[in-house]
Amino acid sequence: MANYKANKNLALKTPGIYVAEGEVVELEPAYAEQVNNDLKLTFPDVDAVLELVEETKPASRSKKAETKASEDATE
């Protein structure tokens, strides 16, 4: 499963969910591609009604703790 951002208000009948424009929804990539293909002619003003969201991982705290420990060691 992957996260997709909706560029239009969508009522997805198969999973039975409503997604408002700008919201993020978790879907199977194959299903999201099918929705985009099915709605391509309905919404010609957007490239895709569902865009894959790039997930960024937050910096781990262990690096911060290691930095603090090394600062203490130099004092």
pLDDT at 71 > cutoff 70 = no
Is the Cβ–Cβ distance between 40 and 30 less than 8 Å? no
pLDDT tens per residue across span 3-46:
999 999 999 988 889 999 999 999 999 999 999 999 999 999 99
Q: What does the chain come to in residues? A: 75
pTM for the model = 0.67
